[in-house]
Amino acid sequence: MAGNITFTMIKPEAMRKGAAGAILKMIQEAGFEIIALKMKQMSTKDAEEFYAVHKDRPFFDGLISFMTSGPIIAAVLKKENAVEDYRKLLGTTNPETADEGTIRKAFATNVTMNAAHGSDSDDNAAIETAFHFDKNEIIE
């Protein structure tokens, strides 16, 4: 059965653009409830651990320097079928192919600076939530 939470980060470039408010508005208007929220500067160690699955990819070093180039906003979102529905709202990894009405179509700069992160499975939603939030920071 599909779970009802997912984890997102608004990435540094979208923060610099001042797009965080508009992205959170899109998230809420799409029916997600924000049950945890914080602004945070990720360390290199944080980013390397969060993106460990990509450590052998050619874009890894660029991704780590980008994700530590300024603060992010981390949030936990609640909705039925949250992971799949949020990936749809996010749009494709490469914004060039993202549909109209998606967060990445509206706010991404390129494939690395693609505005926001979204978990890709229920298991990863739980792991990523626990990475950024203590239990008492989640308001359900």
C-alpha distance across the termini of the chain, in Å? 20
Q: Residue 46: which of ligand IDP, Mg ion, none does it interact with, CB under 5 to 8 A by kind?
A: none
Please give the structure tokens belonging to residue 6: 């997912």
Q: Residue 40: which of Mg ion, ligand IDP, none does it interact with, CB under 5 to 8 A by kind?
A: none
Q: Which residues bind ligand IDP (CB under 6 A)?
A: 54, 59, 63, 93, 111-112, 114, 117, 120
d(CA 71, CA 14): 10
> Cα separations (Å) of 14 from 80, 95, 104?
26, 13, 10
Catalytic site includes residue 117 = yes
Beta pairing partners, 72 = 40
Identify which of residues 81 and 93 has a Cβ nearer to ligand IDP in the complex. 93
Q: Active-site residue among 11, 78, 104, 117?
A: 117
Q: Residue 38: which of Mg ion, ligand IDP, none does it interact with, CB under 5 to 8 A by kind?
A: none
- To Mg ion, the closest distance from the beta carbon of 55 in angstroms equals 13
Among positions 109-128, residues that touch Mg ion (CB under 5 A) are: 120
Please give the structure tokens belonging to residue 74: 């981390």
The residue ranges of DSSP E strands in 1-140, in sequence order, are 5-10, 33-40, 72-78, 116-118
- To ligand IDP, the closest distance from the beta carbon of 54 in angstroms equals 6
Catalytic residues: 117
